[in-house]
Structure 1
């Protein structure tokens, strides 16, 4: 029923995109309370600050951004200042999408995961405590001297609003060499803020970056970002659960790059709690990227019940400097302020042995040049080196990415309970390690799904030998107009298999007959380039899937 509801929502949204009014928004246009609705497409022109009031964005709204603003700004971006609030709550069926001006959302092939830096990004600023000597600082990515770009304060419960079911695509414009904007920047944001189900797709800089504050996040995706997938800095003491990263083979940084504070011995250092992450690197044979995890500048924190795999170099570096150079991340590990427990590590270009030069990358002037202290910590805290048996890893839009671990995977055992965490509010116990269990929560609302990266490669124990009603994903998907659809009937039924275009028009009636119990494979051909949905009805049963023709 959920898939059928999604089909109707998808058709309505796609039809609406073809007939929407373009509303250009400059900095001067956004003053006080504002309401953006799904019957318009909003075009950001330059740096657009909300200085006070609340910006409400309806589910299904599309916000695009100019690559070359008319305002003279170096990029276009939306900035919610610490005296304002955003209420952007999409749904799985109707996500809120931020993307480039040239992105045709009805054509999944017009932009790819290598199209980055076409606009800026989204910045949320708050009044939480930060890890600087001063009480406030200015966010990176915005020209120096802009007072509205400041964040920080003394209110760790500060509420910046709701940011939920949002996809941010093709951002990260370069303001100057080495100075780009993250997909989603979260600075000084407090614990009353809701950030859940957010995707950053094809950003030139980091996917997500957190500075200070205490916000708790869930269901985040950083896909094909040109730098780090997840970055935290300067006193972030919030948390995350169900984080997913996949990196491309053309450009990448670390899975997680984590810094503590300024200066390094600042007692307000970063110490978040992160459970159930899955970080997939650019591949062991790639020549891009960095370590899966980099902890430096006095970073603390916790990773638990997570999976790190397919990185070209080493797995982890915990900065370990000579004693006279002050506090480092190894010192925080010794004190119990940096913890890795019950994680799965596998598939590193440098090797899968838990020693220096293989999985462990040591700091150039390390006191422990052998990495023995880190290796002992990982072993003592139930970290394992074993294949996570992810159902499918692909970095192309070919329907071969399925981040769920197979039933035989070690991800379904050796699970750490949520105890000893620095932050526990909002965390939930799971029966699996990594970002995904048996359900792919990233389906429907993400670019990864809309553009054809995801496939149905996971087979649960209960499905093996099961003869229930089932409509499988067509294969190949995307296809060239010729594809196969497979389905299973638990009993004899009147069967209708129809293909619809994005307006809801039937473009092909594939099957319309009574069929006995069994499994069927049907060839479908002659489809033109575009997005289609195919619906199978068999008696009282109904299912729908999406296909992409390139």
Structure 2
């Protein structure tokens, strides 16, 4: 009994102490503090957007008041509890940034904001007279901007052009900023290696993404194979027409970067705009040293036309890199694509996708008198997976990789001295009319190296296959013919190519093969390559011993402050 009484006494004592400690405890947690932890960038011109990171912001944009160095109130574009994206106001001053919320609380940045030297010039509607854009300004495209017949848009080297997101469309049609050179109009964008011309997203560093804006579109008067009334994709005004001026001149693109373009305007088919879209552009146009990065659709797409190009870069494309349609017959040499293995499109992403037109089968007599899609590409390098290629995907991808080359719908493309590494399939030869072109020699593949193609441990994955009435054996017989000098390098032997150690680096690549690489020799010559447009080479792929991407490309535009 004494033990029980003692135990009860001890329990009461413990309960008393618990109550006492509980009474002493402060039940109210400290209220979260409104704060600004960073401003990015800290220097920007009027009209550009910056990101303010912190805590306890109001999720309703209008409930946050942001001032720049005094009483200059900014427009808040988007808001979350930890991040505000705001537009630098016209009367902004140098100094700290202040955020006030609807709760009456305020915070001041420890970083000093400095107003950029270049003002933002907003561009919308039509450019109908000769106009020059200078490097002293930043230009913001709002909605569809058309350079009309007879007008010339000249862009100085080093000029920065930003594409506005759909919400900036002054017509209220939610069209991302897009520069469209119409028939008879011209663009003269002549950058230099030291001062390239940059088209990029209007979002701040770290906030950019695929398809932030539309892209650059050239519409010419060269031959194509579609009816005159065929409309342009993506809601762009105008039709293909019947001008058929082979040497038509849409201007010049030299040392130009196009970043975060390629927007899907609706969920309907053919409603996209590519990074660089070329409709019936003629051979009088000059295109060289162009980089398209983070395109939300294809990097480059040629719809008919005769335009030639050299030194092209496709970086981290969402869909296809090189897409040819509607009777394109130009020539392209020296082109490189570096893919992000985690990003592919629901339509299945390819290196090359080449069509005559859809359906494009069966072949008609002389293509009904219109040009057959028959471009000539030489010295192309496409790099996807450094490890085992895969057809699996997860967000942010919307689909899987398919082929290094998907040639279909009666195309007669020719590809020479090119290298494709890391695709689930090397070549998909698709359609009986396409096979007829291959048999006739109008479609030609020679000096091709396929490496690390196929899916590991798959019984159905093969490097070269047929589709659309072509058997695998027929496709392989064509590709593997001795006279073509093509080769397939198994995944286990990829190291024998002696690729550069940084070949697959997404932010700092180097594509120059190592000394002794078999890619530095074995190029085919003659035939269609005898055309004076082509530079004679001894190597396969886009690179021998010269790195022509050096100085003017940007492999990490996501983290570049453009102001």
Structure 1 unpaired stretches of 5+: 1-15, 105-109, 322-327, 453-528, 532-550
| 1:302 counterpart (409, 414, 419) | 414
What residue is the counterpart of 1:392 in the other structure?
501
Q: Quick one: distance in 1 between partners of 2:231 and 2:501?
A: 41
| 2:480 counterpart (376, 380, 404) | 376
- Post-superposition offset of 1:220: 0.5
What residue is the counterpart of 2:224 in the other structure?
130
Matched, 1:258 2:347: no
Matched, 1:89 2:157: no
What residue is the counterpart of 1:521 in the other structure?
none
Q: Quick one: distance in 1 between partners of 2:355 and 2:538?
A: 30
Structure 2 unpaired stretches of 5+: 1-113, 393-399
Partner of 2:527: helix, strand, or coil?
coil
Q: Quick one: distance in 2 between partners of 1:333 and 1:381?
A: 12
What residue is the counterpart of 1:66 in the other structure?
164
Matched, 1:116 2:210: yes
Per-residue CA distance 1:310-334 (angstroms, 9 max, x = gap):
11x110111134xxxxxx2111000
| 2:447 counterpart (332, 342, 348) | 342
Q: Quick one: distance in 1 between partners of 2:477 and 2:451?
A: 20
What residue is the counterpart of 1:443 in the other structure?
550
8 Å Cα contact 1:45/1:65 also seen in 2: yes
Matched, 1:420 2:527: yes
Matched, 1:140 2:140: no
Matched, 1:44 2:151: no
8 Å Cα contact 2:138/2:159 also seen in 1: yes
8 Å Cα contact 2:338/2:506 also seen in 1: no
Per-residue CA distance 1:405-432 (angstroms, 9 max, x = gap):
1122111111112x21178242111232
Partner of 2:193: helix, strand, or coil?
coil
Partner of 1:315: helix, strand, or coil?
strand
| 1:195 counterpart (283, 287, 292) | 287
| 2:381 counterpart (278, 283, 286) | 278
Larger Rg: 2
Partner of 1:330: helix, strand, or coil?
helix
Higher helix content, 1 or 2: 2
What residue is the counterpart of 2:117 in the other structure?
19
Matched, 1:239 2:331: yes
Q: Quick one: distance in 1 between partners of 2:507 and 2:314?
A: 19
Q: Could you tell me the TM-score, scaled by structure 2's length?
A: 0.69
- What is the total number of aligned residue pairs between the two structures? 418
What residue is the counterpart of 2:308 in the other structure?
216
Q: Quick one: distance in 2 between partners of 1:78 and 1:290?
A: 31
8 Å Cα contact 1:25/1:44 also seen in 2: yes
Q: Against the structure 1 CA distance between its residues 281 and 270, is the aligned structure 2 distance closer, same or farther, given a 3 Å change threshold?
A: same
- Post-superposition offset of 1:398: 5.2
Q: Quick one: distance in 2 between partners of 1:442 and 1:220?
A: 9
- Post-superposition offset of 1:352: 12
Q: Quick one: distance in 1 between partners of 2:337 and 2:191?
A: 21
Partner of 2:436: helix, strand, or coil?
helix
Q: Quick one: distance in 2 between partners of 1:130 and 1:352?
A: 43
Q: Against the structure 1 CA distance between its residues 151 and 395, is the aligned structure 2 distance closer, same or farther, given a 3 Å change threshold?
A: farther
Q: Against the structure 1 CA distance between its residues 170 and 185, is the aligned structure 2 distance closer, same or farther, given a 3 Å change threshold?
A: same
Q: Quick one: distance in 2 between partners of 1:380 and 1:374?
A: 10
What residue is the counterpart of 2:401 in the other structure?
289
Q: Quick one: distance in 2 between partners of 1:351 and 1:330?
A: 28
Per-residue CA distance 1:236-261 (angstroms, 9 max, x = gap):
00010001111112222100100023
8 Å Cα contact 1:397/1:451 also seen in 2: no
What residue is the counterpart of 1:31 in the other structure?
128
- Post-superposition offset of 1:70: 2.8
Per-residue CA distance 1:20-79 (angstroms, 9 max, x = gap):
010000014x22211100000000000011112100000000110110223223221000
What residue is the counterpart of 1:359 in the other structure?
463
Q: Quick one: distance in 1 between partners of 2:478 and 2:431?
A: 10
What residue is the counterpart of 2:272 in the other structure?
180
8 Å Cα contact 2:143/2:171 also seen in 1: yes
User: Structure 1 stretch 259-268 or stretch 182-191: which is displaced more?
Assistant: 259-268
8 Å Cα contact 2:283/2:308 also seen in 1: yes
Partner of 2:212: helix, strand, or coil?
coil
Q: Could you tell me the TM-score, scaled by structure 1's length?
A: 0.71
Matched, 1:100 2:198: no
8 Å Cα contact 2:154/2:189 also seen in 1: yes
Q: Against the structure 1 CA distance between its residues 58 and 352, is the aligned structure 2 distance closer, same or farther, given a 3 Å change threshold?
A: farther
8 Å Cα contact 2:340/2:506 also seen in 1: no
Q: Against the structure 1 CA distance between its residues 352 and 361, is the aligned structure 2 distance closer, same or farther, given a 3 Å change threshold?
A: farther
- Post-superposition offset of 1:124: 0.4
Q: Quick one: distance in 1 between partners of 2:211 and 2:460?
A: 36
| 2:540 counterpart (409, 430, 433) | 433
8 Å Cα contact 1:356/1:362 also seen in 2: no
What residue is the counterpart of 1:535 in the other structure?
none
Partner of 1:380: helix, strand, or coil?
helix
Q: Against the structure 1 CA distance between its residues 372 and 95, is the aligned structure 2 distance closer, same or farther, given a 3 Å change threshold?
A: closer
Q: Quick one: distance in 2 between partners of 1:163 and 1:85?
A: 10
Partner of 1:390: helix, strand, or coil?
coil
8 Å Cα contact 1:82/1:151 also seen in 2: no
Q: Against the structure 1 CA distance between its residues 429 and 370, is the aligned structure 2 distance closer, same or farther, given a 3 Å change threshold?
A: closer
What residue is the counterpart of 2:101 in the other structure?
none
8 Å Cα contact 1:136/1:150 also seen in 2: yes
- More relative contact order in 1 or in 2 (CA 8 Å, sep 6+)? 1
| 2:510 counterpart (399, 402, 422) | 402
Q: Against the structure 1 CA distance between its residues 141 and 82, is the aligned structure 2 distance closer, same or farther, given a 3 Å change threshold?
A: same
